[in-house]
Amino acid sequence: MTEVVSPTAAASGASATKTFQERVKSAASSDVARVNALASDALAALREVVRKHELTYDEYNAFKAWLIRVGEDGEWPLFLDVFLEHEVEAIANARREGTAGSIEGPYYVSGAPELGSSGALPTRDGEPGQPLRFFGQVRAVSGEPLPGAVVDFWQADADGLYSQFAPGIPEWNLRGRFTTDADGNFSVDTIYPAPYQIPTDGATGALIVAAGWHAWRPAHLHIKVSSPAHQLITTQLYFDGGEHVGDDIATAVKSDLILNPTPTEDGKGHQVRYDFVLDPA
């Protein structure tokens, strides 16, 4: 039995910020006109909020203090991924014909172990959670299978915690990369993830409490699928009837990303098939 140690917002935020900064070494280059348009419209929208709600100096100073705290807690990746990324993702994937995308979130880490076309994700001895076999095929929108496609898979554990973002969990727990076989097939043995609250003891949680919102995400699997000459797809898969599927704090659930697992023949777990369809590059 594993001991559950809840991560603090500051520790999770620091990990998320460090991971993000390592992946994005420099800001994307934009021309002056683009920066001007985006920054001007964003500031105009904030000024309109100030005017519409007749913001007081006490509220203004509270807002400044909260912005400072978001940075101190390292929670900008968390805050932006929860409240803004779903809009960016929708625009990025608006013309996609294949599998629907979803947000990446703050907990992706590159370099997970290579596990072939079929295998079990790394787990602790006695890893809690109901067994789940997730399998499928990767193919192109034209229908042909894509051998050698990479299925990069990560998820929370049965307590809603992610390795590398919570204490006491091995580095690559429930993370792995699978490469499809000659027919484009893959198979992953894992466990059901749990719904989880995003960290609530930091700045993001303070906003959620003050606004009277809930902080829950439904249980989900994270996947990135890539193949040469095809567009990378980043998505999340949810579970039919799962708690908070209908009111995800991150507004990331889509109907065609909902799984309906069935019992395995031996009755010791569940299984579900989901095929990924990639658009041409």
Catalytic residues, by residue number, are 162, 196, 217, 220, 222
Tell whether the torsion through CA atoms of 113, 119, 124 and 129 is positive or negative.
positive
Residue type, 254: K
Using CB atoms within 10 Å of the CB of residue 201, give its burial: 0 to 12 exposed, 13 to 18 middle, 19+ buried.
middle
As a whole number of angstroms, the distance between CA 262 and CA 264 comes to 7
Q: Are 270 and 132 in contact (CB under 8 A)?
A: yes
- Facing residues of 152 across strands? 177, 224
Widest pairwise Cα distance in the chain: 64
- Structure tokens, 221: 């699997």
